[in-house]
Amino acid sequence: MANKPRVKLPKSAKAGEIVQIKTLASHDMETGNRKDKKGNKIPRLILNKFSCSFKGEELFGATMHPSVSANPYIAFSITAKESGTYDFTWTDDNGEVTKVSQDMSVS
């Protein structure tokens, strides 16, 4: 990916609080249906998987198809339980994985 994906997650939360997490990747999401100026098909290259896990356990994930817009935006919510690191991954059609991690403290 050209630029690192960005994640919005509060630095801290109260135990039991429902927290919204927003993610924004930077990717063209080439559909495979477009042609270049010479009329050749531009091969498909998209991010097809997204995952958010906490301490090795997947809390939320998504499977993406070419109809997801460029620079995929995914927002969802979790319940804050304990302090720790949230790991976010995006996987493209070539199997390349981009990872971002962010901490949240829970009191």
Partner 1 sequence: VNIARAASNQAITQDDLLKFNSVGQVTLLNFTDIHAQLMPLYFREPSVNLGVGEVYGLPPHLTGKEFLKKFDLMAGTADAYAFSSVDFSHLAGEYGRIGGLAHMATLIKAIRAQREPNTLLIDCGDTWQGSYTSLATRGEDMVDAMNALGVDVMVPHWEFTYGAERVQELISKLNFPFLAGNVIDNQWQEKVFDSTAHFERGGVKVAVIGQAFPYTPVANPRYMIPDWSFGIRDEMVQASVDKARAEGAELVVLASHNGFDVDRKLASRVNGIDVILTGHTHDAIPGIIEVGNTLLVATGSHGKFLGRLDLDVQNGKVKNYNYKLMPIFSDVIKPDAEIQAVVDAIRAPHQKIIGEKLGTTESLLYRRGNFNGTFDDLICNAIIEERETQISLSPGFRWGASLIPGQDITMDDIYTQTAITYPNVYRSEMTGETIKLILEDVADNLFNPDPYYQQGGDMVRVGGMGYRIDIQKSIGSRISEMTLLSTGEAIDASKKYTVGGWASVNEGTEGPPIYDLLADHIRKKKVIDVQPNTNIKVVGA
Partner 2 sequence: SPEAAAEALAKLSGGAAAATSDKITISLPEIAENGATVPVGITVDSPMTAASYVKQIHVFAEGNPSPETITFNLTPTGTADVNTRIRLSKTQNVLVAAVMNDGSVLTNKKEVKVTIGGCGG
Partner in contact with 63, chosen from partner 1, partner 2, none, beta carbon below 5 to 8 Å by kind: partner 2
Residue 67 interacts with partner 2 (CB under 8 A): yes or no: yes
Cβ atoms of 7 and 85 within 8 Å: the answer is no
- What the block records as the tokens of 80 is 């804050």
CB of 81 vs partner 1, minimal distance in Å: 25
How far is the C-alpha of 17 from the C-alpha of 44, rounded, in Å?
A: 40
Task: Return the number of the residue (22 or 99) whose C-beta is nearest partner 2.
Answer: 22
Task: Give me the phi and psi of 102, to 5 degrees please.
Answer: -150, 140
Name the site residues for partner 2 (rule: CB under 8 A). 18-20, 22, 31, 33, 58-70, 72-79
